[in-house]
Amino acid sequence: MGKFVNNTEEFFDFCKENEVEFVDFRFSDMKGMWHHLTYMMDAVTAEQLESGMPFDGSSVDAWQPINKSDMILKPDVDTAFLDPFTADPTIIVICDVYDIYKSQMYEKCPRSIAKKALTHLSESGAGDVAYFGPENEFFVFDDVKIRDDINESYYRVDTEEGCWSDDTDYEVGNTGHRPRTKGGYFPVQPTDSMVDLRAEMMQVLKQVGLEVVLGHHEVAQGQGEIGIVFGDLIEAADNVQKYKYVVKMVAHLNGKSATFMPKPLFGDNGNGMHVHQSIWKDGKNLFYKEGEYGNLSEMARHYVGGIFKHARAVAAFTNPSTNSYKRLVPGFEAPSILTYSSQNRSASCRIPYGAGEKATRIEMRFPDSTACPYLAFAAMLCAGLDGIKNKYEPIGPMDDDLYELSLDEIRQRKIPQMPHTLRGSLEALIRDNEFLQPVFTQDMIDIYQHYKFETQVWPDEARPTAFEFKSTYSC
């Protein structure tokens, strides 16, 4: 699969061939949310694709003030693909954002930041391409109810796969086949109730240009994952946006709700975005060295060391929600102990087993899908390149089950950990951001952390929870 068009001429030919009536221009904000403007096909010209489309940047969270609101969307036509969900033939084009006031790519546009990260890689001399392979897990629920008010707070998610549904009355009867808590990995039908739904998702993902490898039920009740082929940093981040769109829409059109929320179920596994990474130069994988531990080169170790050195700040981009840190607890395949290991899924960085020269890579296991993929990948690349530059050595390898270690043992061994809260990661970002500076501007970093405090940390910290009532009401 891959690209459907390579230039403007091919774009218009493709649109004519597919009788396209609408062009949907899309861009990502700092949260990673997709926004869009839809044009009539006959209103789009080659000159417009070159010069861009104006839009109101003040209506996007934490972007422009209202007195400097005019911005330009710059379409990247080789990202074009047909929208599989619209009633009328519509083509989607992913865009970058251009700042008319500074006459440059917008410093808060995540996709533009990711492109700067690739320039930084090239200028560093470390490599000429960075490959990323994200693995985005998701839940599918049958019903979702939420209430957040001054005197009450409430949520309830439901799936027929949930163990809590054992005594639910269904019109067709209760089958009793359920994966149970932590029991969802690989059982066949009828325990796995999402086979056909995932198959439809896989078919549509292929339809929009992703190279799909496999799909399977994940560990938790109602949880799934679909594997797609890796790409360079920009392609991989674009694919995350397409992947999330397709998964959500296929679930929606089947009367269900898909979410990439890190921890929607207490006591069961959460949703991660494990990210495989490698750096190449002149067609050679620089992370590979035969005979070393996991066939991992010194450069790769230093890259891991850089991510670990700056992990608490990097987490502000890779784990950017308060819910992220409810996933990063021991025992749920969401490691927070910053060491590396071959095959060991309790380490924050895993070296996949059996990889040859072309496939050797590192897998960071702490990120999740609330991350804006462009910012998360760019932040990890910046940290990794800083590690290569300064030859940071990560702690490890450690092949034992790290979940069995007590907090005292972790401290005695002086093994660093991920932050335990979003507040902790944002405070780390304030202290430690110089490694990002070749790519992220100081203004972007300042606005980002203020925005996350205002929209995530402070509202979350101010709200009482059901558990607090349970544990303190009678004190």
Domain stops at, among 51, 73, 106: 106
Residue 405, pLDDT above cutoff 80: no
Residue 1, pLDDT above cutoff 60: no
Q: Tell me, yes or no, whether 177 lies in a domain.
A: yes
Residue 189 labelled as part of a binding site? no
Same domain, 15 and 95: yes
The pLDDT score that the predictor gives to residue 18 is: 98
Same domain, 368 and 305: yes
Q: Tell me, yes or no, whether 113 lies in a domain.
A: no
Residue 83, pLDDT above cutoff 70: yes
What domain range includes position 177?
Answer: 129-472
Residue 225 labelled as part of a binding site? yes
Residue 388, pLDDT above cutoff 90: yes
pTM for the whole structure: 0.96
Same domain, 100 and 142: no
Residue 461 labelled as part of a binding site? no
Separation between Cα atoms, residue 276 and residue 363, nearest integer Å? 4
Q: Tell me, yes or no, whether 467 lies in a domain.
A: yes
Same domain, 446 and 402: yes
Locate 432 and state its tokens. Answer: 């430690």
Q: Which of 162-166, 192-196, 269-273, 333-337 has the weakest average pLDDT?
A: 333-337
Same domain, 80 and 179: no
Domain stops at, among 106, 137, 163: 106
| Contact between 34 and 46 (Cβ < 8 Å) | no
The pLDDT score that the predictor gives to residue 9 is: 97
Mean pLDDT of the chain: 95
Helix (H, G, I), strand (E, B) or coil at 297: coil
The pLDDT score that the predictor gives to residue 398 is: 85
Residue 17 labelled as part of a binding site? no
The pLDDT score that the predictor gives to residue 336 is: 84
Separation between Cα atoms, residue 371 and residue 422, nearest integer Å? 12
Percent of the chain with pLDDT over 70: 99
Helix, strand, coil % over all residues of the chain, rounded to 5: 35, 20, 40
Residue 151, pLDDT above cutoff 70: yes
Residue 401, pLDDT above cutoff 80: no
Same domain, 60 and 187: no
Locate 36 and state its tokens. Answer: 């869009």
Q: Cα-flanking dihedrals φ and ψ of residue 458, to 5°? A: -65, -45
Same domain, 293 and 239: yes
Percent of the chain with pLDDT over 90: 89
Q: Tell me, yes or no, whether 250 lies in a domain.
A: yes
| Contact between 287 and 278 (Cβ < 8 Å) | yes
Strands 223-228 and 22-28 turn out to be: unpaired
Q: Tell me, yes or no, whether 119 lies in a domain.
A: no
pLDDT tens-digit series, residues 187-202: 999 999 999 999 999 9
Residue 334, pLDDT above cutoff 70: no
Separation between Cα atoms, residue 359 and residue 339, nearest integer Å? 21
Residue 161 labelled as part of a binding site? no
Q: Tell me, yes or no, whether 72 lies in a domain.
A: yes
Whether the CA torsion 292, 298, 302, 304 is positive or negative: it is negative
Q: Tell me, yes or no, whether 376 lies in a domain.
A: yes
Same domain, 285 and 362: yes
Residues 251-268 have a mean pLDDT of 97
Residue 235 labelled as part of a binding site? no
Same domain, 307 and 396: yes
Domain containing 274 — which CATH number?
3.30.590.10
Partners of residue 141 on adjacent β-strands: 257
Domain count for the chain:
2
Residue 345 labelled as part of a binding site? yes
Residue 19 labelled as part of a binding site? no
Could you tell me which residue, 430 or 405, shows the higher pLDDT? 430
pLDDT band at 356; cut points 50, 70, 90: confident
Residue 290, pLDDT above cutoff 70: yes
pLDDT band at 402; cut points 50, 70, 90: confident
The pLDDT score that the predictor gives to residue 409 is: 78
Same domain, 87 and 181: no
Residue 412, pLDDT above cutoff 90: no
Residue 365 labelled as part of a binding site? yes
pLDDT tens-digit series, residues 58-79: 999 999 999 999 999 999 999 9
Residues that are catalytic: 56, 135, 137, 218, 225, 274, 345, 363, 365
Same domain, 195 and 254: yes
Residue 406, pLDDT above cutoff 80: no
Domain containing 43 — which CATH number?
3.10.20.70
Same domain, 269 and 368: yes
Q: Tell me, yes or no, whether 402 lies in a domain.
A: yes
Could you tell me which residue, 409 or 431, shows the higher pLDDT? 431
Residues ≥6 apart with Cβ < 8 Å to 435: 306, 310, 313, 382, 383, 386
